[in-house]
Structure 1
């Protein structure tokens, strides 16, 4: 009888409180294990972001508040003096205006041409795959090769454009050396470089459109122009919005083509903000002013991107 009591005592069922405590301990142990694995996998990425993104960003803000010598060391605390000097500088304001003209031109033309080419390539005709390859081929061209290609086209003596103009008895133009035409030349070159990405992403959106909807609109007698603006555009609006944001930000960051084609000239006509920062930092050694320009550029991009999300996203149909 005593042995049966001992067996019952040893095999008793745990109470509710004991089960709850055991569950909590097991859950906490699992959470700590998950946290260790998360740090193990995210640690290298966080370290790289800290070294190459967060630290340079904070260092740039810090330098923008000081005057620096030629080696980049702080000399005098200036507060917001660097920002005030920039915003009252005619050269910087001219660079800001040139950048806005450039960004709007690149953004509008890239989206418009990307839509036109994607719509044309989505029509299944003979050799359509060949044209799709041609339209997206600019993605594989480096900036240096693109600059050489367009400098040859814009060359005033042997350039293709001036040869065509001479054949048609039109006036010859100095595309890359005329202050009134240099910005147009750079915009054309940049649009050509960005068009491959925009076309490829928009074309994938066109391929996902339901054919049944187009058949119904064709039966109802809807014209192609009306169908494009009132059926196609709303259906691909999420992809179009994505391409719009990426193109907008990349246009603000343009540097390579400017450096290789015009070097900010002629007469600072193409001296965009990023190239202006490069000149102040690495050519003039004015790191404090270049840091202030970088902060202002970041604020401008963030503000205009926010406005796009605030107003343009309302027209996106998900």
Structure 2
């Protein structure tokens, strides 16, 4: 074998190596261009998140370490003292208890009513579109507008609710000024306001269940009650799980209806934690204390969300 013939495999190997190297570089260059293009498309969203989410969060952490003067300017570094004072602040714990009570009053009730209405109206029966439209209407009403409407309904003398109570022989209720009824009144208004959003989500979940599953259940002799609890609920459990998490977060962030209906009264019976933060930060200009409370609220919501994912997600049936 000649020397030229011996060098042929070496040349082929060298050419294959160069081809492989070129392809690798081309793939890396293509991947780099795709990543840069992705970052370019994400830039507007990142700017919005940075402006309205990340910067306020970092600013809250910064302010929580300081005391501020009556004009809201940073005055003195106190470290974690703002957080330590929350432990002995009875008003903060009272607002936290009010928030938990408000959550327990609104979240389960709203989900139950939305699920009930969705189950009654998801069938393809003539006229159901009208009911679906009516039950979805609260979604388009702003919190301030809804609060004004319910303020008139709760009026002690000219309100419709007390008028109905007098018709059935009951005494009128001072809905927004009675400490025993104020939180319940705000909860009723909140349930009505949130009903449209939850109803639409659960109705969509019910419509996503295949009719073939119901037909198979009928053939097997399953009654409507058994079908609902053993087939429908497991099939819409992802939607229920999502609605539950969002509802808890919304309940802990409630502010608008409290501000319009009761201003946290009477006797602080409706002063939820967000309203307490608002008073400390924007009324009393104690931005340090308000920021500390906001971070504690963030931690509480985060912990509750993790707990829900840790335990409630076990019962979620993903198709």
Q: Give the TM-score, by structure 2 length.
A: 0.92
User: Is 1:198 the counterpart of 2:198 in the alignment?
Assistant: yes
Map of 2:5 onto structure 1: none
Deviation at 1:244, TM superposition (A): 1.0
Map of 1:177 onto structure 2: 177
TM-aligned CA distance change 1:45 to 1:168, over 3 Å:
same
Q: What value does the CA root-mean-square deviation take over the aligned residues?
A: 1.8
User: Is 1:257 the counterpart of 2:257 in the alignment?
Assistant: yes
Map of 2:300 onto structure 1: 300
Matches within 5 A, 1:132-147: 132-147=132-147
1:2-56 Cα offsets, whole Å, 9 max, x none, are: xxxxxxxxxx977122112212221232233223212221122212222221111
3-state SS, counterpart of residue 100 of structure 1: helix
Deviation at 1:80, TM superposition (A): 1.7
Map of 1:235 onto structure 2: 235
1:152-196 Cα offsets, whole Å, 9 max, x none, are: 111110111111111111111101111110100111111111110
**CA–CA distance in structure 1, aligned partners of residues 316 and 277 of structure 2:** 35
1:66-90 Cα offsets, whole Å, 9 max, x none, are: 1121233322222221111112111
User: Is 1:267 the counterpart of 2:267 in the alignment?
Assistant: yes
Map of 1:71 onto structure 2: 71
3-state SS, counterpart of residue 162 of structure 2: helix
Map of 1:129 onto structure 2: 129
**CA–CA distance in structure 2, aligned partners of residues 220 and 148 of structure 1:** 52
Map of 2:56 onto structure 1: 56
**CA–CA distance in structure 2, aligned partners of residues 28 and 276 of structure 1:** 54
3-state SS, counterpart of residue 76 of structure 2: strand
Map of 1:18 onto structure 2: 18
Q: Which moved more, 1:178-187 or 1:118-127?
A: 118-127
Q: Which moved more, 1:263-272 or 1:121-130?
A: 121-130
3-state SS, counterpart of residue 15 of structure 1: helix
Q: Which runs of 4+ in 1 moved over 3 A?
A: 218-221
1:198-242 Cα offsets, whole Å, 9 max, x none, are: 101111111122223223333444332232222110011011111
Matches within 5 A, 1:82-93: 82-93=82-93
1:108-145 Cα offsets, whole Å, 9 max, x none, are: 11110111000000133332111111100111111122
Map of 1:245 onto structure 2: 245
Q: Which moved more, 1:24-33 or 1:229-238?
A: 24-33
3-state SS, counterpart of residue 75 of structure 1: strand
Map of 1:4 onto structure 2: none
**CA–CA distance in structure 1, aligned partners of residues 44 and 210 of structure 2:** 43
Map of 1:116 onto structure 2: 116
Map of 1:37 onto structure 2: 37
Q: Give the TM-score, by structure 1 length.
A: 0.92
Deviation at 1:296, TM superposition (A): 0.3
Question: How many residue pairs are counted as aligned between the two chains?
Answer: 309
Map of 2:218 onto structure 1: 218
Map of 1:102 onto structure 2: 102
